[in-house]
Structure 1
Amino acid sequence: MRLKVVSWTTKRCVLLIGLLLCLVGWSQEAADETLARAEQLLKRAQVAQGIARQKLIEQAQRMVSSLPAKAREPLDQALNRACISSSPNALQNALHEIASYRATLSSEFASPAPDKVRAQLNAIFAEPDMQPPPKPLIERVGEAIGKVFEALLRSLARLLGGLGGTGAGSWGVFVQWVIIAMLVLVIAFGASYLMGRLEWRRGRRVPTVLDADQMMDARLLSSAEWRALAHQLLAQGDSRAAVRAFYLGLLRLLHEARLLDYDPARTNWEHLMSLRSPTLPDPTTRERAYHLLQPLTLRFDYLWYGNEPTTLEDAQRFEQAFETLRGMVRTDAQRVA
């Protein structure tokens, strides 16, 4: 499903870029054609006299009025002078302005080569961020179990379809469905037990201590793991790193509760302001979380980026905020990547 979504998104991007290129080419051709017509009118005006000359110049003015006002300003001035003056030099200056406009138009809006555009698009779509993310282990195991189960059902249908011979009637079908139901229950209970053990082990696992370069992305650990890591760092006497772990745990906790769309490319203050985004759910809880994190974010900047000495009281303050936030968000918040 993810691959299909990425593929459809890619197609839409390609179509959009192609449409933009077509629009650029079309606008260039339309402007160039307008200027060419105006140039023909002015050349006819050079050999005309009196009212005929004046009408040809006015037609040229109306012709170029569809061009962008800022870009055609020198051309309008030259045409106005040609209307007022009967000097041949005035028309010659207007023709010169048209030629300059056409030269500028072709240099600014030249359509790129299709091969170059295609190569650039291929380079963009080859970036790691454009590739479909790998499926989690549990999802892949579930798909494998589903395929095995489907194959088993087909095998049972072939094996038990003739149970009891042709005279067995509905009895053979009944036995077949009883066996299938028992197998479904056994597999379901086994899968539930296995997933429960995996989650229990994940909750019990205490993460190893990360260095400063690794403690930059709240997605590396769950909120509970960030909390456990902070306690480890406190036990080792590293209050500064413990404050960092508690703060990342706060961001991760909001992300798990779907109150914050965490992005490691954003700053802490951008994450704080996103808590007031109208597109996210539960505005009351988000507003309470905003007021909780605002002074902590300011203090964290002084401690982490300002290199102020970090005390045990600072770590306890961040831990207390973590516990407060954990009591505010939903206890059944789903774990998200």
Structure 2
Amino acid sequence: MSLRPLLIVLVAIWWGWPALVAAQSAEMSLADYDRLLRATHAAAQRGDLLDLQALAGELAAITQVRMPDGQLARVDQGWLTAALAQPTPDLPAIAARLGAMIDALAPFGNPAPAGALQQWEAVFNEPPFNREGEGWLTRFLNWLFELLDQLFPDVPAIPAPDLPTAPANPAAFTPIVWVVLGIAGMLLAGLLFFWARGVRRATRAPVKAPITDDEDPVTYSEAQRLAAAARSAGDRRSAVRYLYLAALLWLDAQGLLRYDRSLTNREHLHRLRDQPPVRDLLAPVVATFDAVWYGFQPIDDQAFAHYEQQVAAVQALTKSVGSAS
């Protein structure tokens, strides 16, 4: 038996294997593609050219996106590669186009919230759709307006300006009508008074100042405390930021990375190039932080718990590295 056909098949598999692997790696789910677009958009908005080029390289490798129904959609980011190849890339124009792409993906990647039907029912059961829950004042005003309609059943419509009009008849305003109009005027004045007082109280209500970058923690424990406080207050976006700072401050305290506020996230990762295990654990933490903080991507409880585990994994690995050394 000749071995020549077998050798031909083996050579064909050898040469075709890289293309098969590249074809598989060029596919991405719609959710991951949306997160990558938001991170790239955030880098373009803040003018981080180094981070933008790195993320653009990841986007350029994607040729197909798997939609929620299982179908594959072809994508081509050649325009982004060409725009970044210019001597002076137009970052605002790139950010605007990426933002338009994110908006175009919204109908496909953002289904209606689980409580949308309950919210609709709650609104529909309130006035003016449901009049059963109206207060006594609303019912009285409705009765008053119906009474005025009965007292003036034959009030003509306002004619066109170029048509002659008849003079008003003062006899039509009986004493009862004047009493009703006086009561209505007093009620209206009272409503305006209470409305103005409510607006005045609302404008005097104390407003809690939002958390700013000037309150950045300087130690790992302080960052963890601020993250816990933000999570308890329902501000998961700030909690994500403080947990990311906690990871960087922990690495700084272990002597593995010097934390510098002037450096970008990708530059911090680049400084860990000689420590691949630590860099690989910190990379998803950086990606989630960019998507939530700069890309304003919402994060639910399950995703936040997974993010906390990623930060804890960075701390656990560096503890083992420090004990081994």
Scaled by the length of structure 1, the TM-score of the pair is: 0.31
Whichever of the two has the greater Rg, that structure is 1
Q: Choose between structure 1 and 2 for higher RCO, CA contacts under 8 A separated by at least 6 residues.
A: 2
Scaled by the length of structure 2, the TM-score of the pair is: 0.32
